[in-house]
Amino acid sequence: MVVRELDCLADPEAPAARPVWAVRSDDLAGFLADRPAAEAAFLRDSGFTAAEGELILLPGPSGVAGAVLGLGARPGMWSFGDLPRKLPAGTIWRLEPGDYARDDAILGFCLGAYRFTEYKPARRAPVLLAAAPTPELAETARAIWLARDLINLPAADLGPNDLAAAVRAVGERYGARVTITDGAELARTHPAVAAVGAGSARPPCVARLEWNGAHGGKDAPLIALCGKGVCFDSGGYDIKPASGMLRMKKDMGGAAMLLGLAALIMATRLPVRLLLLVGCVENSVSGTAMRPLDVLRTRSGRTVEVGNTDAEGRLVLCDLLDEACAAAPVLLLDAATLTGAARAALGPDLPALFCNDEGWAAALQQAGTRVDDPVWRLPLWPGYESWLDSPVADMGNVSAKPFAGAIVAALFLQRFVTPGTVWAHVDTYAWNDTARPGRPEGGEAQALRALYNAVSARFAGASVTKCYQ
């Protein structure tokens, strides 16, 4: 799976493009007053109120001549997310000027136009938008499509080697260096990753992507990304029930989101250096799988007692975090579909954010609010540190207490972050349970835009427009 082109866009000068007007509810009276009398009467008789997402098709002598979209009182990008589904199949449209952010409208349309068609063709011809998005906007949509594609692939077609190959393909697209560590070398350098993948017939590996920045400057700040790439999670010997295993193809969602983020950073040529580490594994049950109460050595040299084999994501990440810290990044980000406890606390739409730096915590949360890609901060509460104590190892990978599972997992990860390193951890769901405007059911790149916006604002100072083509 590689970065896809946006097949939902048409030439902005396409002669066949039909107009769509987007109207706020409080501007409806003025809009109707400016329209031809027959058209205004049609809209009134249709009961159009300009509620968010409400769409009326306007008749013309040759069929549908145009459309009017309601934005409600507070328009945003998702107001435009259902247009690809609601407008007539096979048609081309242009956005007429209005009281809305045009870039948000185009991005909302592009995200709503996403379809996963690897195994089943689309049921209808695509709707196209005649628009020329900024390079940054187009690359954002491509990055999100990439992450969604990877998460939506079934585990049979996206194993550890396949995920590593996706990292390599993205690296080649943007001129990054990618190395894959596997086999005996993986067991030596990433023993916890190797232990998690030991039960699978598909061997684990770590994909490392290094990008030296737009100009190859060694003095550019280094951003490090660590992604949990568990391509399928059975739970291991602490096996999940059938209902808990049903969506575990998405357990590599953190890695997919960060690969999309890496692609976006490279495509927009942010003035940073980049290190991406993806632990590509499958957590299976076999005679070679890790067992409850096994004691594992980690890359850092510290030992971990396995209290639960279904808490494997933190074992993957602990080796990656230790490796990333050795590179001395100015910012270390990790992302993982790590705990059900985060979902119990915040639900499916709010990724949990943990951060050891107040400034960056505020920047990340504010960026999420700014671009409507929210995260919600939870505490790295030191009072729960002792819950990870083990009588036989340096620490356990779980707590025996039934509380604060997301916090305990974050505290475990924090132990592998070098003191003084600015670090943020995102515990994400990476999935849309039901379809909503701009967010089809299936894999989702939650927090990608929030992380990019915060990084871009800090290191670029403004949106970057010179991108790879």
Q: Which two tokens stand for residue 426?
A: 């995102």
Q: Which of 314, 415, 449, 458 is catalytic?
A: 314
Instruction: Give the C-alpha separation, 312 to 230, whole Å.
Output: 9
Put residue 301 in one of left, alpha, beta given phi > 0 → left and psi -120 to 50 → alpha: left
Q: How many CB atoms lie within 10 A of CB 138?
A: 22
Q: Rounded to an integer, what distance in angstroms lies between the CA atom of residue 450 and that of residue 428?
A: 13
Of 227, 282, 8, 261, nearest in space to 144 by CA: 261
**CB-based contact 280:160 (threshold 8 Å):** yes
| DSSP E strand boundaries for 204-252 | 205-211, 222-233
Judge whether 86 counts as a catalytic residue: no
C-alpha–C-alpha distance, residues 228 and 281, integer Å: 9
Active-site position among 240, 302, 377, 436? 240
Q: Could you tell me which residues come within 8 angstroms of residue 243 by beta carbon, excluding any fewer than 6 positions away?
A: none
What number of CA atoms fall less than 13 Å from residue 50's CA on the CB side? 19
Per the structure block, which two tokens stand in for 277? 């580490």
How far from chain centre, in Å, is Cα 460? 21
- What is d(CA 21, CA 98) in angstroms, rounded to the nearest whole number? 7
> How far, in Å, are 18, 128, 190, 346, 359 from residue 206 at the CA level?
49, 39, 8, 30, 31
CB atoms inside a 10 Å sphere around CB 425: 29
Distance of alpha carbon 330 from alpha carbon 422, whole angstroms? 7
Active site residue 314: yes
Measure the CA–CA gap between 73 and 67, rounded to whole angstroms: 19
Which residues belong to the active site? 240, 314
